[in-house]
Structure 1
Amino acid sequence: MFTYKRRVKFYETDGMRVVHHANYLRYFEEARVEYLRAGGIDLNDLMKEGIVFPILEISAKYIKSAEYDDVLLIKTYLRRVDRARLDFEYEVVREKTGEVLTTGKSTNTYTNMNTGRIVRLPAERLEKLVSLSEGDR
């Protein structure tokens, strides 16, 4: 598990200081990128090699609302990793109370950014991800 910490910005909220639902997908994205970075997988390096990670599927379950100025912990788990796909799960937690506000899932694949075709992740990169996600699966 990787935990990404962030504070809710005012512009992410509606007129009632509640986080707009679409922002949770952004939080998932931020946490996913930082998870990979922590494991030594830099998306810039992969893009230089022509590899990107498009999302095939994403979902969120809204339990309670986050509000302006809340500090959120986005707990990120890499549940499945192989040479063709990545399955992540997320929990958005209000740091102050420990309440789970939102949960989510996403599935990514690897594609060649020039052709859009699915490619296999190089073995050395896969080994890093497998090691990083050992406790998540």
Structure 2
Amino acid sequence: MMISIKEIDVRYSETDQMGVVYHANYLVWMELGRTQFIRDLGFNYAEMEKDGILSPVIDINVSYKKPLHYGETAKIQTWLDYYDGLRVVYGYEIITPDGSIALTGTSSHVCVKKENFKPISIRKQLPEWHAAYENAKKGKE
């Protein structure tokens, strides 16, 4: 299984009154991890959007394990948890500097046409992405 890694320096503005990363910021970091995963596959999400295809989040699940703080570096690990040609589920772990898990999660996506939000088949409409996802499931790059 292919796993992408993205490191993020925790900024002061991402913390709350308790001095820990505000929970919603982890969703942004998951997006950064997902974007890195797509980049590591050799694709560019912005280019897909220019071609009139979007990939909205249809479901998201997170479990917070341990806080991160200002000045620390978070390591986002992202992989393909599930793919069937239509729906994509990315898996995430966000790791603290001492190697502990700060968060585990998944986000589910479909691809849709920009003009009408009708779902499309990745297998049929984006055959290169389909092949790359199939290979990523098997651990090939």
Instruction: Give the Å deviation of 1:125.
Output: 1.9
2:127 paired residue number: 123
Q: Distance in 2 between matches of 1:102 and 1:131?
A: 26
Q: Secondary structure at the match of 2:20?
A: coil
How far does residue 57 in structure 1 lie from its aligned partner after superposition? 0.2
Cα separation, 1, equivalents of 2:38 and 2:137: 10
Distance between the aligned counterparts of 1:113 and 1:80, measured in 2? 24
The structural deviation recorded for 1:2 is 0.9
Measured on the aligned residues, the alpha-carbon RMSD in Å equals 1.4
- The SS at the match of 1:17 is coil
* Match of residue 46 from structure 1: 48
Instruction: Select which of 114, 121, 132 maps to 2:136.
Output: 132
1:18-57 matches, within 5 Å, as 18-57=20-59
Q: Does 1:8 align with 2:10?
A: yes
**What is the match of residue 89 of structure 1?**
91
Q: What does residue 114 of structure 1 align with?
A: 115
TM-score (norm: length of structure 1): 0.92
- Aligned counterpart, 1:104: 105
Structure 2 gap ranges (5+): none
Tell whether the 8 Å contact from 1:82 to 1:126 is kept in structure 2 after alignment: no
Q: How many percent of aligned residue pairs carry the same amino acid?
A: 27
Whole-Å separation in 1 of the counterparts to 2:129 and 2:79: 18
Structure 1 unaligned blocks of 5 or more: none
> Counterparts of 1:39 and 1:133 in 2: how far apart (Å)?
12
Pairs aligned (count):
135
Moved over 6 A (4+): none
